Amino acid sequence: MTFSVAGFCPHTGMFGVAVSTSSLAVGSRVSWVQAKTGAALIQNYADPSLGPIALKALSDGKNAQATADYMVAMGHGIAWRQVMVIDKRGATAYYEGENCLGTHGCAQALHCIAGGNLLADASVPEATIAGFVAADPQQHLGERLLLALENGLGAGGEANPVRSAHLMVADELDWPVIDLRVDMHAQPITELRRLWQTFIPEASGFVSRARNPQDAPLHGSGSK
């Protein structure tokens, strides 16, 4: 049904997530990131109401494991959820409900966590992690997350053809500096890569316009 990855960059302090699924518009339901706080992925019968709860727990000082435990204690259909959390120190934790679909699993490494359900192969989470770990740590976190997602797809990805994908990264601001969504596409991860490569040269300009509009250069043909 879904495979995804969350990561932390200790060099920049950025948090981010990347996810793909056979359903439409995955970015509207699964991905949650907050600057200086952490990130969460809520999938397998995703409940978007749980994302803000996870971020609030992290913001209140709970670590990744305590946040995952808190969400399990809440109940709220948790037996149908697959939850992954990364905290402000880069520590990770996960929970997989007994009703997770098909082949499912999670994998962890330093500063990253990956998981999926209804997978084509049980190796997908480990392959996703391997893609993140093998990437140059000096690369933008968004690039590393996208490489991880591509590696997971190469290992089989989801059992069904994926149709949507999402890449989101938070830096120092209250809003994500990267929020790229492919809501419906025959090859959403390939399309996400295209969007990323088009967007990243202008990303700093969009931030400048928000923070210091009087000094910000105008990139491209638009002004928004």
Q: Give the model's pLDDT for residue 178.
A: 97
Average pLDDT of span 89-105:
97
Q: Please state whether the predicted TM-score (pTM) of the whole model is above 0.85.
A: yes
Task: Report residue 115 as tokens.
Answer: 């998981």
Q: Which helix (H) or strand (E) holds 154?
A: helix 141-154
For 149: left if phi > 0, alpha if psi spans -120 to 50, otherwise beta; the answer is alpha
Q: Give the model's pLDDT for residue 217.
A: 67
Tell me how far apart the alpha carbons of residues 141 and 182 are, in angstroms, rounded to a whole number.
Answer: 19
Q: Give the model's pLDDT for residue 221.
A: 41
**CA contacts within 13 A on the Cβ side of 107:** 21
CA dihedral 209, 212, 216, 220 (to 10 degrees): 0
Q: Give the model's pLDDT for residue 75.
A: 86
Task: Report residue 91 as tokens.
Answer: 């520590």
CATH of 2-211, one of 3.30.70.360, 3.30.1280.10, 3.30.300.160, 3.60.20.10: 3.60.20.10
105 beta partners: 116
pLDDT tier for residue 211 given thresholds of 50, 70 and 90: confident
Task: Report residue 69 as tokens.
Answer: 């435990």
Tell me how far apart the alpha carbons of residues 47 and 210 are, in angstroms, rounded to a whole number.
Answer: 31
pLDDT tier for residue 27 given thresholds of 50, 70 and 90: very high
